[in-house]
Chain A
Amino acid sequence: AQRVTQPEKLLSVFKGAPVELKCNYSYSGSPELFWYVQYSRQRLQLLLRHISRESIKGFTADLNKGETSFHLKKPFAQEEDSAMYYCALQTGANNLFFGTGTRLTVIP
């Protein structure tokens, strides 16, 4: 069965430090993976998706099929990065499964 695991509920880093939010998935098919972000008092929004291989707001994520991971990384964290981050897996044509989320706090 499909599953998305985000092992860290809370993650705190200092401003300017590198940050990595972990995401592992379990799916027998070909995965499509996404990172969504929810800033304080704002709605959930797409941050990036692996098929685009893009960098958004300095964040990148590489799909590692061997390790079944899709970790989100940023070399230098900023205060405005503080938010709730969700990793999501699309299976088949219609379902999107979310992880439990990681709350990132960037300490000034």
Chain B
Amino acid sequence: EAQVTQNPRYLITVTGKKLTVTCSQNMNHEYMSWYRQDPGLGLRQIYYSMNVEVTDKGDVPEGYKVSRKEKRNFPLILESPSPNQTSLYFCASTPHRLAGSDTQYFGPGTRLTVL
């Protein structure tokens, strides 16, 4: 089944403890991105990647890192999480480099709480 998967789905952690949220797609998509969803703010793009080894900042990149060593994986790294990074995170992928020119497929979301 074609899909985007994220792990973990739920995570509670403490300030400063490094964590990684994985994202994987099995559709051979070129474009992948990370969003955070916060009440009253909608979805905001954190980082995106047009292809392997090509990543760029989105709207709210501060406090996050990403890597794209393989086409299928696009992990989100929080080196030193802080409480203001408590949010619902979505990974998405789309077949081509141009975001929006084709359907974005979203993962199920990861709910992160930083104490």
Contacts and interface: CB of A to CB of B under 8 A. Distances in A.
**Do A and B assemble together?**
yes
A97 B40 CA distance: 14
Nearest to B6: A43
B99 interface: yes
Nearest to B35: A98
Interface stretch (A14-22, A57-65, A86-94): A86-94
B48 A46 contact: no
Q: Report, as a range, how many residues of chain B touch the other chain.
A: 20 to 34
Contact of B50 (A36, A86, A94): A94
A100 interface: yes
B42 A98 contact: yes
A60 to B, nearest CB: 18
Nearest to B96: A93
B42 A101 contact: yes
Interface residues of A, number: 23
Given A98-B43, A100-B40, A101-B42, A43 B99 contact: no
A100 B41 contact: yes
Contact of B45 (A32, A43, A96, A99): A96
A45 interface: yes
A46 B99 contact: no
Interface of A: 4, 6, 9, 32, 34, 36, 43-46, 49, 86, 88, 90, 93-101
9 contacts: A4-B42, A6-B42, A43-B107, A88-B100, A95-B99, A96-B33, A96-B100, A97-B59, A98-B35
Across the A-B interface, the 8 shortest Cβ-Cβ residue pairs: A90-B100, A100-B42, A98-B43, A44-B106, A98-B42, A46-B103, A43-B106, A96-B100
